[in-house]
């Protein structure tokens, strides 16, 4: 095919999986559920005789679809590109790709195109649903085109960003975490730049609309009266800037492809082994060489000799009871440069707190700045989940998991070692939201009771996110599937909670006419949660978790909005604690069967 062998392979092999069609059908079904929810919110069961009501419904529906599609594109497109390359590196097959006749440009563009195939397919699948808004009125066809251009450009630029990060870094966790952080920084950092330089414009368009995808989306949704019949200038500028950014970093990735790859980890091990053997050889032969030099009257300059190896360092003694935890905590199992991730995460947290504090102080409601804890906590949960799932998938792809399975490690040692090793390696993501919560308690943005509930719930959710990653890593043997399943489950769970809370607030807590739509929304969430957690290894506990978690989460959201903090706290601890145990107990007890350590999985 003219698109290249990498993209051609993806196009041919992707539709062979049933999951490919289920994903597209589920995405379209979710959009129709949102359509029904918006209808119940605006109209309810009353008969519609006014065209203005339909036009208003079309506008609200268009906003929901636009926001959802852009969020999905910003989240999944970079991660899909990063995961594709990181998976190849873990399996040591990316080096084989570099040995083929493919040029560097073909490899980079092929990886980007193959990783974005399914994501862009979802975008195209949602286009006919967006066209329904045009039929309802209130939305013009040109606005749909504007939105599609903005969303597609955001996905291409995000995919290029994730691709170059994965080409640069050697470890899967580093690639994924840096990709997540850079996606968030592309929004928060742009807002910070626009805050300090509000008058900067690009081709007459404010800088914040050029660089922030959500601002560009709002500009396409709500154009000025003189731009209703044509493509918006802001959309043109935004798409041009995004595509130029994507082309620039793809050119950089093509230029540095063979300098970054093979990465430093594998050659470093080989190099250290070769240097050690060479040093031992020189250590033995150097006295003899010196004697021969003296006997024949020759003198070779000292700089041509390699230095004699000094005394060997003593071996580190692992923890006898928890060797897996020792490896996770005391070795560089996930790369040698984690300071980049920690610095960007700390910078993002500081920017969120400062921006929200200044914003709500200008609005006259400084206590609402405590909402900054929410985005920081969500980002931390995603990073912890990424750390946990890659802790297992990296072992499987590198072949180290097979070596662990033939040892005398107990399932308890392995699972608890991976669980608390992931939490230890992501300790900054765990401790910083707690520190921000305590800060707002002292600033009286939160009461002591609210702060206590928030800290306990967050610690429980951190364990839940980490165990969800391990559960996906055990359940799915394919690393790309495990990572997408784990992060996708947590992402849609958190997104569903936020959408539910937003609809309740928007509807002014009128639950009567929204109850049926919420039940449909929650039921779809239960099916999706069971498909994610228990489709491969079903159990009664997982089925109960999938059934109860969305419903009790809805109750927690309602209780929280009504001010009943204790009820929301108790039910959240109960349901997510049970979900944690439902994944933890089978992982410990049926660990051998889940990973194929025995032949019982074939029986």
**The predicted structure's pLDDT at residue 267:** 46
Percent of the chain with pLDDT over 90: 18
Burial of 201 (0-12, 13-18, 19+ CB in 10 A): middle
pLDDT above 80 for 95:
yes
Terminal C-alpha separation, the chain: 43
Instruction: Count other Cβ atoms within 10 Å, centred on residue 328.
Output: 22
| Beta carbons of 427 and 462 less than 8 angstroms apart | no
Per-chain mean pLDDT for the chain: 79
| Beta carbons of 126 and 105 less than 8 angstroms apart | no
Cβ neighbours for 278, distance < 8 A, ≥ 6 positions apart: 306
Peptide bond into 296 cis (omega under 30): no
- What tokens were used for 257? 């492809």
The confidence band for 297, taking pLDDT boundaries of 50, 70 and 90, is: very low
**The predicted structure's pLDDT at residue 516:** 66
Element (H, E) at 201: strand 201-202
| Beta carbons of 556 and 564 less than 8 angstroms apart | no
Q: How far apart are CA 105 and CA 242, in angstroms?
A: 19
**The predicted structure's pLDDT at residue 336:** 60
Q: How far apart are CA 470 and CA 387, in angstroms?
A: 9
- What tokens were used for 293? 């030099």
Tell me the backbone φ, ψ of residue 215, rounded to 5 degrees. Answer: -65, -40
- The per-residue pLDDT for range 409-458, each reduced to its tens digit, is 888 888 898 999 999 988 999 999 999 999 999 988 888 999 999 999 99
Mean local confidence (pLDDT), 515-541:
77
Element (H, E) at 202: strand 201-202
**The predicted structure's pLDDT at residue 506:** 66
The confidence band for 531, taking pLDDT boundaries of 50, 70 and 90, is: confident
Q: DSSP letters of 112-172?
A: HHHHHHHHHHHHHHHHHHHHHHHHHSSS-HHHHHHHHHHHHHHHHHHHHHHHHHHHH-SSH
Closest CA to 164 of 265, 266, 261: 261
**The predicted structure's pLDDT at residue 540:** 85
- The per-residue pLDDT for range 198-225, each reduced to its tens digit, is 777 877 777 778 888 888 888 877 766 5
The confidence band for 315, taking pLDDT boundaries of 50, 70 and 90, is: low
Q: What is the 3-state secondary structure (H, E, C) of 473-517?
A: HHHCCCHHHHHHHHHHHHHHHHHHHHHHHHHHHHCCCCCCCCHHH
Mean local confidence (pLDDT), 316-333:
78
Q: What is the 3-state secondary structure (H, E, C) of 332-394?
A: CCCCCCCHHHHHHHHHHHHHHHHHHHHHHHHCCCHHHHHHHHHHHHHHHHHHHHHHHHHHHHH
Element (H, E) at 206: strand 205-206
Mean local confidence (pLDDT), 129-134:
78
Tell me the HSE value of 555 on the side-chain side, using a 13 A CA sphere: 14
| Beta carbons of 561 and 504 less than 8 angstroms apart | yes
Q: How far apart are CA 82 and CA 246, in angstroms?
A: 14
Cβ neighbours for 256, distance < 8 A, ≥ 6 positions apart: 167, 168
Tell me the backbone φ, ψ of residue 335, rounded to 5 degrees. Answer: 110, 160
Tell me the HSE value of 401 on the side-chain side, using a 13 A CA sphere: 24
Tell me the HSE value of 507 on the side-chain side, using a 13 A CA sphere: 25
Q: Which range among 24-33, 293-302, 371-380, 566-575 shows the weakest confidence by mean pLDDT? A: 293-302
- 3-class SS of residue 19: helix
- What tokens were used for 419? 């669980």
Q: Which range among 90-104, 246-260, 322-336, 486-500 shows the weakest confidence by mean pLDDT? A: 322-336
- Angle at CA of residue 508, ends 506 and 513, nearest 5°: 95
Closest CA to 349 of 176, 179, 185: 185
Check residues 144 and 388 and name the one with the higher pLDDT.
Answer: 388
- The per-residue pLDDT for range 158-170, each reduced to its tens digit, is 999 999 999 988 8
Kindly list the distances between the CA atom of residue 467 and the CA atoms of 239, 374, 464, 494, in Å, as whole numbers in the listed order. 39, 21, 5, 16
């Amino acid at each position: 095919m003219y698109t290249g062998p990498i993209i051609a392979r993806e196009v041919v092999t992707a539709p062979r999986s049933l999951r490919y069609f289920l994903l597209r059908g589920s995405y379209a079904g979710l959009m129709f559920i949102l359509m029904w929810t918006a209808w119940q919110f605006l109209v309810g069961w009353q008969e519609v005789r006014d065209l203005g009501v339909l036009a208003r419904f079309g506008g609200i529906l268009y906003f929901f679809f636009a926001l959802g599609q852009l969020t999905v594109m910003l989240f999944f497109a970079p991660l899909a590109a990063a995961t594709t390359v990181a998976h190849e590196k873990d399996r040591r097959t990316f080096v084989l790709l570099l040995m083929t006749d493919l040029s560097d440009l073909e490899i980079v563009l092929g990886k980007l195109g193959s990783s974005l195939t399914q994501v862009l397919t979802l975008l195209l699948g949602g286009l006919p649903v967006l066209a329904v808004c045009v039929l309802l009125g209130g939305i013009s066809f040109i606005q749909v085109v504007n939105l599609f251009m903005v969303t597609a450009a955001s996905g291409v630029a995000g995919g290029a960003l994730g691709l170059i990060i994965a080409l640069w870094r050697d470890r899967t966790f580093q690639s994924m975490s840096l990709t997540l952080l850079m996606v968030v920084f592309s929004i928060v950092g742009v807002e910070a730049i626009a805050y300090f330089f509000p008058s900067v414009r690009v081709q007459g368009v404010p800088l914040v609309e050029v660089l922030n995808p959500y601002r560009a989306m709002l500009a396409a949704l709500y154009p000025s009266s003189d731009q209703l019949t044509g493509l918006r200038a802001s959309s043109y500028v935004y798409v041009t800037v995004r595509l130029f950014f994507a082309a620039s970093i793809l050119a950089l990735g093509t230029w540095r492809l063979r300098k970054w790859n093979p990465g430093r980890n594998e050659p470093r091990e080989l190099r250290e082994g070769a240097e050690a053997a060479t040093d031992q050889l020189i250590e033995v032969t150097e006295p003899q060489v010196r004697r021969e030099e003296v006997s024949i009257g020759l003198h070779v300059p000292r700089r041509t000799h390699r230095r004699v190896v000094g005394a060997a360092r003593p071996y580190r003694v692992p923890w006898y009871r928890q060797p897996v935890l020792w490896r996770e905590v005391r070795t560089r199992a996930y790369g040698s440069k984690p300071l980049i991730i920690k610095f960007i995460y700390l910078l993002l947290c500081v920017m969120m707190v400062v921006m929200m504090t200044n914003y709500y102080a200008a609005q006259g409601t400084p206590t609402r700045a405590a909402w900054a804890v929410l985005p920081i906590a969500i980002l931390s949960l995603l990073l912890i989940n990424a750390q946990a799932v890659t802790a297992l998938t990296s072992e499987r792809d590198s072949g180290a998991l097979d070596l662990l399975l033939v040892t005398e490690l107990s399932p308890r040692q392995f699972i608890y070692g991976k669980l608390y090793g992931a939490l230890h390696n992501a300790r900054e993501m765990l401790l910083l939201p707690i520190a921000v919560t305590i800060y707002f308690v002292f600033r009286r943005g939160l009461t002591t009771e609210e702060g206590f509930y928030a800290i306990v719930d967050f610690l429980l959710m951190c364990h839940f996110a980490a165990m969800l990653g391990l559960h996906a890593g055990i359940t799915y043997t394919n690393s790309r599937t495990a990572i997408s399943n784990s992060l996708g489950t947590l992402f849609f769970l958190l997104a569903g909670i936020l959408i539910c809370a937003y609809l309740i607030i928007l509807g002014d807590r009128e639950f009567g006419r929204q109850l049926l739509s919420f039940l449909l929304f929650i039921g779809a969430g239960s099916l999706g949660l069971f498909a994610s957690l228990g489709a491969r290894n079903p159990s009664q506990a997982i089925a109960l978790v999938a059934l109860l978690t969305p419903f009790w989460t809805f109750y927690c959201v309602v209780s929280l909005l009504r001010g009943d903090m204790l009820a929301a706290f108790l039910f959240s601890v109960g349901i997510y604690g049970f979900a944690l145990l439902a994944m933890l107990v089978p992982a410990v007890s049926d660990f051998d069967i889940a990973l194929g350590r025995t032949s019982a999985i074939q029986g």
